[in-house]
C-alpha cells in the first residue's frame, strides 16, 4: 500500500508578493505613506524596532544565563552600569515626535515597540505596548519587588568605587566605548568583571534584581501576547518602522496581520523577515520620511 505524504510548498518572494511597491525616491516614499495613512482611517498599528532610536544615539541583542550564573550577572550589571547614563540621557528624535503628532491627530491607533528605551512615552505617544519590557525598572526574581533603575544606579556606584571612577572618565570624554541597544556598554574582550558587586533584593534579601526586559531565551508574558493579538485584530493596517523582524515575537505580529487581511507596510533599511507579507516596502531612513508625513497630514 502506498502512503501519500503531503509536502509543503514554499512560494518565492516574487510569487508571494507580485504587487510589492518599492518607491525609488524619498518624495515618492512620502507620498505612498501619506496615501497609506489616509486609507487606513485612523486605524494604523505601528510596530517599531531599534532603527527608530538610532537618531537618539542608541545603536541598532539579550541572554538566558542571568538567573543561574553569578558571573553572567556581574558582566551584565558592570556593562549596564557604564551604559546607563547614556540611556538615561537619550531623548526622543524627530521620528518619535512625528509618530506622537500623527497619533494625536488620529492617524495612529496604537504602538507596539520592541525597544526598551521608553522614548515613545517621552515623546508624548499613548497606547504603547512594550513587547520586550523596559530598562527603566528592575525587579526581584524571588519576591517581585520593583525598583527604579536610576535608584539602583546609585547603589551600584556605592558598591563599586573603582568602576565609578571608570564611569567618570567616560562621562568626561576620556573614553568613548560603544553602548548597545539594551543599555549595556561594549567593553574589550578579556575584560574582567570579578570585582563588580551587585546587591541582593532590599525587600526579601534572598533574591537578585533583573532588568524588566525579555532576554533571549525568555518568553514574552501571555498577557502581552494576548494584547498584541487584540491590537492587530482592531487595526486596519500595520506599519513596521526600523525593525528587521528577526525575532519571532515581532514577526508573528506582522504574520497575524497578514493572515487577517490587514495591509502591511514596512520602513526599514535592508531586507526584513516580513517583506513577503507587505504591499509597501520603504528602504529609506525613517527620519527622512516621518517628519514630512506628519507635517503634511496635520496641516490645518
Determine whether the annotation assigns residue 204 to a binding site.
Answer: yes
Active-site amino acid positions: 132
Tell me how far apart the alpha carbons of residues 94 and 55 are, in angstroms, rounded to a whole number. 8
Interhelix angle for 248-259 vs 222-234, to 10°? 30
Could you report how far apart the first and last alpha carbons of the chain are, in Å?
Answer: 74
Tell me how far apart the alpha carbons of residues 174 and 80 are, in angstroms, rounded to a whole number. 19
Closest to 144 (Cα-Cα) out of 202, 184, 199, 197: 202
What does DSSP say about strands 108-113 and 44-48: parallel, antiparallel, or unpaired?
Answer: parallel
Residue 105 CB neighbour total at 10 angstroms: 13
Question: HEC states along 202-270?
Answer: CCCCCCEEEEEECCCCCCCCHHHHHHHHHHHHHCCEEEEECCCCCCHHHHHHHHHHHHCCCEEEEECCC
Who's near 279: CB < 8 A, 6+ residues apart? 17, 19, 20, 21, 263, 264, 265
Q: Is residue 184 within 8 Å of 79, Cβ to Cβ?
A: yes
What does DSSP say about strands 146-148 and 133-140: parallel, antiparallel, or unpaired?
Answer: antiparallel
Determine whether the annotation assigns residue 201 to a binding site.
Answer: yes
Determine whether the annotation assigns residue 140 to a binding site.
Answer: yes
Determine whether the annotation assigns residue 286 to a binding site.
Answer: no
Tell me how far apart the alpha carbons of residues 98 and 186 are, in angstroms, rounded to a whole number. 31
* Binding-site positions: 140, 143, 201, 204
Q: Which residues are annotated as a binding site for Zn(2+)?
A: 140, 143, 201, 204
Amino acid at each position: 500500500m502506498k502512503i501519500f505524504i503531503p509536502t509543503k510548498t514554499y512560494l518565492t518572494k516574487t510569487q508571494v508578493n507580485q504587487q510589492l511597491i518599492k518607491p525609488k525616491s524619498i518624495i515618492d516614499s512620502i507620498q505612498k505613506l501619506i496615501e497609506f495613512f489616509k486609507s487606513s482611517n485612523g486605524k494604523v498599528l505601528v510596530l517599531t524596532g531599534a532603527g527608530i532610536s538610532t537618531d537618539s544615539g542608541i545603536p541598532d541583542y539579550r541572554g538566558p544565563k542571568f538567573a543561574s550564573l553569578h558571573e553572567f550577572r556581574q558582566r551584565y550589571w558592570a556593562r549596564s552600569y557604564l551604559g546607563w547614563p547614556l540611556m538615561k540621557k537619550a531623548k526622543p528624535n524627530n521620528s518619535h515626535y512625528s509618530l506622537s503628532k500623527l497619533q494625536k491627530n488620529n492617524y495612529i491607533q496604537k504602538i507596539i515597540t520592541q525597544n526598551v528605551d521608553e522614548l515613545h512615552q517621552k515623546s508624548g505617544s499613548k497606547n504603547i505596548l512594550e513587547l520586550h519590557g523596559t530598562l527603566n525598572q528592575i525587579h526581584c526574581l524571588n519576591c517581585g519587588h520593583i525598583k527604579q533603575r536610576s535608584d539602583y544606579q546609585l547603589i551600584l556606584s556605592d558598591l563599586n568605587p573603582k568602576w565609578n571612577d571608570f564611569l567618570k572618565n567616560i562621562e568626561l570624554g576620556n573614553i568613548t566605548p560603544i553602548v548597545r541597544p539594551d543599555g549595556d556598554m561594549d567593553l574589550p574582550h578579556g575584560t574582567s568583571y570579578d570585582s563588580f558587586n551587585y546587591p541582593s533584593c532590599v525587600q526579601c534579601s534572598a533574591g537578585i534584581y533583573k532588568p524588566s526586559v525579555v532576554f533571549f531565551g525568555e518568553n514574552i508574558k501571555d498577557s502581552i501576547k494576548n494584547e498584541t493579538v487584540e491590537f492587530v485584530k482592531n487595526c486596519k493596517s500595520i506599519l513596521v518602522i526600523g525593525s528587521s523582524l528577526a525575532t519571532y515575537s515581532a514577526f508573528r505580529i506582522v504574520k497575524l496581520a497578514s493572515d487577517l487581511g490587514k495591509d502591511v507596510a514596512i520602513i526599514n533599511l535592508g531586507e526584513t523577515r516580513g517583506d513577503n507579507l507587505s504591499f509597501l516596502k520603504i528602504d529609506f531612513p525613517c527620519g527622512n520620511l516621518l517628519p514630512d508625513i506628519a507635517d503634511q497630514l496635520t496641516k490645518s
